[in-house]
A = this chain, B = another copy of it.
Amino acid sequence: MEPNISFISSLIGDPTRSRMLTALMGGKALTATELALEAQVTAQTASSHLAKLVDGQLLIVRKQGRHKYFQLHRQDIAQLIEQLLNVTSSRNHPKTVTGPADPRLRNARVCYDHLAGKFSVALYDALTLNGHIADKGCETIITNQGRSFFSTLGVDFEAFSRNKRPLCKSCLDWSERRNHLAGSLGHWILEDLLAKKWATRDLDSRAISFTKRGKISFTKMYDIEDLPKTETSR
Contact = CB atoms under 8 A, between A and B. Distances in A.
Interface of A: 1-15, 17-19, 21-22, 57, 76-77, 79-81, 83-92, 96, 99-101, 105, 136-141, 164, 166-169, 174, 183
B138 A167 contact: yes
A12 B13 contact: yes
Given A5-B85, A57-B91, 4 more contacts: A3-B88, A3-B174, A12-B13, A137-B164
A167 B13 CA distance: 33
B77 A5 contact: no
A91 B18 CA distance: 19
A172 to B, nearest CB: 9
A92 B96 CA distance: 37
Contacts of A86: 76
A1 B87 contact: no
Contacts of A22: 2, 5
A15 to B, nearest CB: 4
A19 to B, nearest CB: 8
Contacts of A99: 1
A15 B6 contact: yes
Contact of A100 (B1, B14, B136): B1
Contacts of A77: 87
A200 B34 CA distance: 54
